[in-house]
Amino acid sequence: MAHDVNQLGEYLESLSKEKNLSIERVFGLYVVGDESNIRALADQVRGSKYSHFIRVISVDNLLKLAEMAEKAELKTSHVYRLLIPIDSVNAGELIKLIEVIIEAHRGELTQPKPGVEESILAEDFVKEPDVVRMEELKKMEDGAVLICSSRSENVKFLLKFNAWGFIRQPRKMPRYFALYVGRPRSQLEYIGEIDRIIDPKDPASPVSNPEDYGYDPSENKKLIVLKDGSLRKLASPLKLENAFPPLGPRYTTLRKIANAKILDDILS
């Protein structure tokens, strides 16, 4: 089937004028069912003056992209930047996207084995900690904070064990731990003071059977144990708006968290 790339390009220009949008805010996407047609169509796009604003993708790859976006919690603006990398000079933006996707695939805490989930759900195991206001955080001694991420269903692990895992050995010993909770909450929600970082099989570990929670000894990952009574829930959780979600370990300071209005203030 023949495609008139110029016709689509002219429509994009007309649409940008009609909606009073910059042409950089408008793009066209050919979704192709038969992948054997992609190369010829891509060559047409590449040879046109609209190559910066038109992309070609197969149905299968579009579905893969949707799956990646869901798993990595990418916003529409992030997907747009994957499809149309307007700022091609700044390769760092693409690297950030790749990093987010890799970390989402790698994950930290994996799903518990069948049957384990019910025990974690027991009411006495999942009592929420006391809340802490930003004004109180500002009065605490500043220090490095390690931000980790969690799917919402895995927060129960933190509440039950007063610990988090399983992570690679941090480059430096942080004083505090904070947890970002993914969709549908998408916010930095918990913070506590770190007591020690240990091997999950250490006799002093609060997790008696770490393998039940996805621990693999061959990966040499560690368990963060918090000081008793230090875990708090932010009275005003820091919402993620436009920044990339912190799906891999990130470092910040307690002072930055205390002064932030949204999570983007820390991550951007």
In the chain, where the domains are located: 5-106, 116-267
When comparing pLDDT for 173 and 193, which is higher?
Answer: 193
Tell me the per-residue pLDDT of 18-75, one tens digit each, with 9 for 90 and over: 988 887 778 888 888 887 778 888 888 888 888 888 888 888 888 888 877 776 667 6
pLDDT tops 80 at residue 205:
yes
pTM above 0.85, yes or no: no
Q: HSE on the CB side for 76, CA within 13 Å?
A: 1
What percentage of the chain carries pLDDT values higher than 70? 81
Greater model confidence, 34 or 96: 34
- Asked if residue 147 lies in contact with residue 252, where contact means CB atoms within 8 angstroms, the answer is yes
Residue 183 Cα to chain centre, angstroms? 9
Lowest mean pLDDT among 71-85, 103-117, 156-170: 103-117
Question: What secondary structure, in 3-state letters, does the chain show?
Answer: CCCCHHHHHHHHHHHHHHCCCCHHHCCEEEEECCHHHHHHHHHHHHCCCCCCCEEEEEHHHHHHHHHHHHHCCCCHHHHHHHHCCCCCCCHHHHHHHHHHHHHHHHCCCCCCCCCHHHHHCCHHHCCCCCEECHHHHHHCCCCEEEEEEECHHHHHHHHHHCEEEEECCCCCCCCEEEEEECCCCCEEEEEEEEEEEECCCCCCCCCCCHHHHCCCHHHCCEEEEECCCCCEEEEEEEECCCCCCCCCCEEEEHHHHHHCCCCHHHHC
